[in-house]
Chains A and B, each alone.
Chain A
């Protein structure tokens, strides 16, 4: 069975600090996708990134960066120079194909990030 572990339940940082959110996954599939979603206080999950298992290149998007390491089954998310607007719950998720054209997401339990002034 697939599993996603986000060991950090809650993280508090002061604005402008860098912060890394950890994600470790388990799967027997050789082809899979990993995701990060952000859930601000409004409740809606916002898609941040999708990564396939064949692409271990790190990705950077503005202040966000992702480090995918297949050898350690990890897909960590770093926010550089954090801002108050980054305060949210962040979910890591792993896809599993359930039909030829649909996949199911297994979510971690989420990490609540609190950024203060």
Chain B
């Protein structure tokens, strides 16, 4: 089974703090993703990475950055946390099927971040 783990299930931080959310997958997947989930808005893509040290902006990258130094690990960084970044953060990974972008994304358990 695909296993995607996230470093924390719940996190409470203060405004202005630097926050690191870690995601690790054990299936040697090339692609990794960070989403945030908010009530009534579904999941929205923040950033994704299709290779080590490669990153691309998603739909809502403002206020976030990412790091992918190793294939299995994808970190989401909030440089200066703000209250509007209080949300559920979900990491996912996928691997292209037969060299095509027909990948199924597998998700971690999520991190519920509260910024006070």
List residues of chain A with CB under 8 Å of any chain B CB: 4, 33, 35, 37, 42-47, 50, 52, 91, 95, 97-105, 107-110
Q: Identify which of A33, A45, A98, A108 contacts B107 (C-beta below 8 A).
A: A45
Of A45, A46, A101, which is within 8 A of B30 by CB? A101
Q: How far is the CA of A63 from the CA of B112 in the complex (A)?
A: 31
Given contacts A35-B104, A45-B90, contact A104 B48 (CB under 8 A): yes
Q: Tell yes or no: B116 within 8 A of A by CB.
A: no
Q: Mark B88-116, 1 if CB is under 8 A from A, else 0.
A: 10101010100111111111111010000
6 nearest CB pairs, A to B: A101-B96, A45-B107, A107-B42, A43-B110, A97-B101, A103-B101
Give me 19 A-to-B residue pairs in the complex whose CB atoms sit less than 8 angstroms apart, sorted by A's number.
Answer: A42-B109, A43-B9, A43-B88, A45-B90, A47-B105, A47-B107, A52-B102, A91-B43, A98-B56, A98-B101, A99-B56, A99-B101, A101-B50, A102-B96, A102-B103, A103-B103, A104-B45, A105-B43, A109-B41
How many Å from the CB of B65 to the closest CB on chain A?
19
How many residue pairs link A and B with beta carbons under 8 A? The number is 74
Is the C-beta of B58 less than 8 angstroms from some C-beta in chain A? yes
Are the C-beta atoms of B42 and A110 separated by less than 8 Å? yes
CB distance from B92 to the nearest CB of A (A): 8
Interface footprint category on B: 20 to 34
The residue in A101, A108, A110 that gathers the most chain B C-beta atoms within 10 A of its C-beta is: A101
How many Å from the CB of B114 to the closest CB on chain A?
14
> In the complex, A108→B106 CA distance in Å?
17
**Which residues on A sit within 8 Å (CB–CB) of B101?**
95, 97-103
Q: Which residues of B contact A103 (CB under 8 A)?
A: 94, 101-103
Pick the residue among B43, B94, B106, B107 that contacts A102 (CB under 8 A). Answer: B94
Among the interface residues B90, B92, B102, B112, which one has the most CB atoms of the partner chain A within 10 A? B102
Closest to A46 in B: B107
Q: How far is the CB of A10 from chain B (nearest CB, A)?
A: 11
Which residues of chain A are near B43, meaning CB under 8 Å? 45, 91, 105, 107
Which residues of A lie under 8 Å from residue B56 when comparing CB positions?
98-99
Q: A102-B30, A104-B48 are in contact. Are A50 and B41 (CB under 8 A)?
A: no
